[in-house]
Amino acid sequence: MGRSPCDGRRTTVSSAESADVTSTGTILQGVGVSPGRAAGPTVHLAAGVDEPPLRRSPAAPEESVAALTAAAEAVAAELRTRAEGVTGTAREVLETTAQIATDPTLLKDARKRIESERVSPERALWEAAAAVAVQFEELGGYFAERVRDVHDVRDRIVANLTGVPTPGVPSRTEPFVLVAQDLAPADTAQLDPEVVLGLITAEGGPTSHTAILARSLGIPAVVGLGDATRRLVAEGVVVVDGGSGVVLLAPTPEEVARASERHEARTFSGRGATTDGHRVELLANVGEVAQAEPAAAAGAEGVGLFRTEFCFLDRDTEPSIEEQVEAYGTVLAAFGGRKVVIRTLDAGADKPMPFLNPTDEANPALGVRGFRTSWRSPQVLENQLTAIATAAAAHDARVWVMAPMVARVSEAEQFVAACARHGLETAGVMVEVPSAALLAGPILARAAFASIGTNDLTQYTLAADRLLGALAPLSTPWDPAVLSLIRTTCEGGQAQSRPVGVCGEAAADPAMAAVLVGLGVTSLSMTPRALGDVAALLAATSLEQCRRAATLALGTEDADAARLTARDALPALAELGL
């Protein structure tokens, strides 16, 4: 079935073009960030609700109270119905939220405001919810964590009262393709791949955390569509191709059928090596704790990046040491006897954590994020290292620890010393900032290992915000400047006899994986879904071929040339259909 824009029926609209006409048979071109194809009706993510104005309501107080009670009951009923359809944590969360919707204190306070101040029910509820949130915050602990739920309930009841769509990811049982301006990592993490078949966003780049999560969930995703998302009418069927970045409007039944076929992924034997036996550890990136078991089942040799902040993205307050011990312990238990690289909280930029990050930064990606947060909140790092050491002592996984966003030699030194105080001997750093790559030699004279975060290293080398769809063409680790910094880092590692891994998304691209090995990278960590393809390519490629592909790519002047030249030098790619 042709999808060429030249087939006479189709027109192609790039993300840059504005589009206010709806036509059939149109191809929208965005940036494919999570491979795979899916077809389904589109559902738009509703925006959050606005604060209702403070003014006297013309309605009689009894009418307003009745409207409020009905709205609260409708929201609670809807949440209870959703709770019945799921199990485990999701069920608990929905049941708790349903309880808040009919909480007597909340509703009594709102009723009082209606009666005494004659405000609208939505305004009264807004104010009552604010008062409850303040009380919860003051109580701290479990209650402080419910503040987000109070706001969620408030928005749902206000939406019901004012007749606007309920904010957040729509709760439907029939599968759909989700369309959003942008999606926070915390929202993406909760998507159910059985229901959300595909993801389309106007914003976002290939290494945004939303894209990373979509990949780990196996949800095909296209980002950076810009204004073209306006062409996606509600419930209109589309085909999403998360590899090529194409969104097809009004597909034929055959195209829908083809996109809906599921393909079996290549499996992994559990030992990565080139065809001539050069060992390359193939590890998994793990975010939420629940991803650990499937990653182990996929044959990962260990965990190369455990993004601990993903466990606590929904928190307004620091998780307790006990909670942390439990979360880390679950991942360590899944990888008994194997290596697990735990990264300390990488809070900041698109993963803000209210207890760690300042809210008034103009450039949060260049702000107090990652390891830098420990300068202002040293105790949070201390507590996390205590939790990691406690979990490590209770399990037989080999625990390595690393800090994100290290920029200077002195920071590596500080982190290694902090880990040593907790008995954590294998302490390393992430190389995500060009300064760290350039100083890899002295940094690795202190740190036991380095792990290159190519997502941020690319962002900071090209000065291109990884969240900006408009800059997606710059967000590629194939840029020879990025490759050169990776080589410099590996040279620093070799000079100090220290391993240098890659745990950014680059490791999941088979061609890039071979180039990384050629540059001297010793381990590759990726979404477990990519392990089979990367392992297959390495198993069919010699170290010499990897080195040659790397040298050729380094000799080019731009990312496209680097990619094409390297691919030409890796014949196994075509043989394996990669």
Place of tokens 């209702």: 52
**Residues of the shown chain interacting with Mg ion in the complex, contacts defined by CB under 5 A:** 432, 453, 456
The phi and psi torsions of 434 (rounded to 5 degrees) equal -50, -35
Closest CA to 64 of 123, 130, 152: 123
**CA 553 – CA 549 distance, rounded (Å):** 6
Binding to ligand PEP in span 198-217, by CB under 6 A: 212
Structure tokens at 502: 């890659």
**Choice from 122, 187, 255, 432 touching ligand PEP (CB under 6 A):** 432
Catalytic residue among 311, 419, 503, 546: 503
Closest CA to 77 of 59, 99, 57: 99
Select 212 or 550, whichever has its Cβ closest to ligand PEP.
212
- 3 state SS of 402: strand
Is-catalytic flag, 209?
yes
* Closest approach of Mg ion to the CB of residue 430, in Å: 7
**Choice from 64, 229, 377, 455 touching ligand PEP (CB under 6 A):** 455
Select 259 or 356, whichever has its Cβ closest to ligand PEP.
356
**Choice from 30, 206, 453, 501 touching ligand PEP (CB under 6 A):** 453
Structure tokens at 424: 């954590």
Quick one: which segment of 10-18, 235-243, 289-297, 449-457 binds ligand PEP (CB under 6 A)?
Answer: 449-457
Catalytic residue among 44, 209, 395, 422: 209
Closest CA to 556 of 491, 483, 460: 483
* Closest approach of ligand PEP to the CB of residue 254, in Å: 38
Q: Is 503 in the site for ligand PEP (CB under 6 A)?
A: yes
Quick one: which segment of 1-9, 36-44, 371-379, 450-458 binds ligand PEP (CB under 6 A)?
Answer: 450-458
Question: Contact letters (x/-) for ligand PEP, 312-351, by CB under 6 A?
Answer: ----------------------------------x-----
**Choice from 305, 439, 485, 536 touching ligand PEP (CB under 6 A):** 305
* Closest approach of ligand PEP to the CB of residue 543, in Å: 24
Closest CA to 151 of 137, 171, 170, 172: 137
Is-catalytic flag, 490?
no
> Do the Cβ atoms of 402 and 449 come closer than 8 Å?
yes
Cα angle 122-128-133, degrees, rounded to a multiple of 5: 125
Partner from Mg ion, ligand PEP, none contacting 200, C-beta within 5 to 8 A by type: none
**CA 528 – CA 294 distance, rounded (Å):** 8
Partner from ligand PEP, Mg ion, none contacting 493, C-beta within 5 to 8 A by type: none
Q: Please tell me the number of Cα atoms within 13 Å of 101 on its side-chain side.
A: 27
**CA 19 – CA 378 distance, rounded (Å):** 50
Partner from Mg ion, ligand PEP, none contacting 305, C-beta within 5 to 8 A by type: ligand PEP
Alpha carbon dihedral 128, 133, 136, 137, in 10-degree steps, equals -150
- 3 state SS of 115: helix
- Catalytically active residues are 209, 503
Chain positions contacting ligand PEP, by CB under 6 A: 212, 305, 307, 346, 432, 453-456, 503-504
